[in-house]
């Protein structure tokens, strides 16, 4: 299949106030795309507008909470009025949570599912009529390695990202006759503000991971997957190793993951 051109592409990108989304927005406008970005922090979006004003593409920012249906409708309305359609929807906004499932209250599961699953799914539903009018339309979901292999102490986040991946797999086939592609990229640990914005998580909680990628690099790989229409990509070597190990040696993977928990349990 021919490569998708970023120049002139009309993109709605969520979660652009920091990390992967912030970098992706800059890379898109540098390549000449027209981008509508959103997030809750207006000061960060203003900074993005400033940093992209000399790029060949064009960036518009609308701040708001993506877990609100009114905000999601506002974004789609903007695309309808200004673009009369949409070429690419990037579902990037998200948040994690860390800690044992038993010790969290019921709110944490709901909050994580709201932003990581219901928000992208419902925004997509509203955008489908606009994507039908787009040029070689696509939905790019930012998943996670944890959408392929779950790990302990991140049960809510794993559940939400597994849900996102299952939903994407289903609508991929539904939307294919309409010419709308459904793509997914799954990063491993990425240096961003993700671990500063954990939902209902103790402040001293740390995530354990071997290595990390820059948000800039993840954004680059995500856009490469969009250009080349890659349906479901795990972006790191370590991530691919974890997924393969979990698939072929599930019990051994469980034992290794349980072992990584031990020092934390001992220090109680
Ligand atoms: N960092 C990692 O290790 C990692 C690994 C795998 C996958 N991912 C995925 O990558 C995506 C981007 O994360 P990141 O690493 O770039 O983290 P980040 O720097 O924390 O960025 C998250 C973005 O989502 C937005 N967001 C969060 N809640 C929102 C809400 N209720 N309404 C609107 N926007 C909201 C944030 O903006 P505001 O706070 O301004 O609203 C921010 O722009 C997420 O889907 C995440 O699950 C991250």
Q: Which residue has the tokens 């060949």?
A: 56
Please answer whether residues 145 and 242 qualify as being in contact, where contact means their C-beta atoms are separated by less than 8 angstroms.
yes
Whole-number Å distance between alpha carbons of 190 and 125: 28
Q: Where are the domains of the chain?
A: 10-237
Cα–Cα distance, 229 to 232 (Å, whole number): 9
Query: How far is it, in rounded angstroms, from Cα 126 to Cα 70?
Result: 11
> What's the gap in Å between 22 CA and the centre of ligand 1?
10
Tokens found for residue 107? 């709110």
Residue-averaged pLDDT of the chain: 95
What's the pTM value of the predicted model, to 2 decimals? 0.96
Q: How far is the CA of 93 from the centre of ligand 1 (A)?
A: 4
pLDDT of 10 > 60? The answer is yes
Question: pLDDT category, 265, cuts 50, 70, 90?
Answer: very low
Report whether residue 63 contacts ligand 1, using a CB cutoff of 6 Å: no
| Ligand 1 centroid, distance to 193 Cα (angstroms) | 8
Residue 190 Cβ contacting ligand 1 at under 6 Å: yes
Residue 187 CA: nearest ligand 1 atom is 6
Residues 6+ apart with CB under 8 A from 50: none
- Ligand 1 centre distance from Cα of residue 44 (Å): 13
pLDDT of residue 1: 78
- What is the CATH number assigned to the segment(s) 10-237? 3.40.50.720
* CA angle (129, 132, 134) in 5-degree steps: 115
- How confident is the model over 145-163, as pLDDT tens digits? 999 999 999 999 999 999 9
pLDDT band of 264, cuts 50, 70, 90: low
pLDDT tens, 59-96? 999 999 999 999 999 999 999 999 999 999 999 999 99
Residue 267 scores a pLDDT above 80: no
* pLDDT reading at 205 higher than 90: no
Q: Are the CB atoms for 90 and 12 separated by under 8 Å? A: yes
Average pLDDT over residues 30-48: 98
């Amino acid at each position: 299949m021919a490569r998708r051109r970023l120049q002139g592409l009309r993109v709605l990108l969520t979660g652009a106030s920091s990390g992967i989304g912030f970098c992706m927005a800059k890379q898109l406008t540098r390549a000449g795309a027209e981008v509508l970005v959103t997030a809750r922090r207006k000061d960060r979006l203003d900074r993005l507008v400033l940093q992209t004003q000399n790029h060949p593409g064009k960036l518009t920012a609308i701040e708001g909470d993506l877990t609100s249906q009114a905000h999601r409708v506002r974004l789609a309305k903007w695309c309808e009025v200004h673009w009369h359609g949409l070429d690419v929807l990037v579902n990037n906004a998200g948040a994690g949570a860390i800690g044992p499932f038993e010790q969290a209250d019921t709110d944490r599961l709901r909050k994580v599912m709201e932003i990581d699953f219901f928000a992208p799914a419902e925004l997509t539903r509203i955008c489908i009529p606009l994507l039908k009018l787009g040029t070689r339309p696509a939905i790019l979901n930012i998943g996670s390695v944890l959408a392929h292999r779950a790990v302990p102490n991140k049960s809510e986040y794993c559940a939400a990202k597994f849900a996102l991946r299952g939903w994407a797999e289903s609508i991929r086939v539904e939307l294919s006759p309409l010419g709308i592609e459904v793509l997914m990229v799954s990063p491993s640990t990425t240096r961003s503000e993700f671990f500063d914005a954990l939902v209902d998580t103790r402040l001293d909680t740390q995530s354990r991971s071997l290595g990390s990628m820059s948000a800039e690099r993840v954004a680059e790989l995500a856009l490469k997957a969009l250009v080349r229409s890659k349906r479901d990509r795990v972006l790191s070597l370590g991530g691919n190793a974890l997924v393969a190990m979990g698939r072929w040696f599930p019990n051994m993977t469980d034992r290794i993951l349980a072992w990584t928990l031990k020092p934390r349990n001992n220090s109680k």
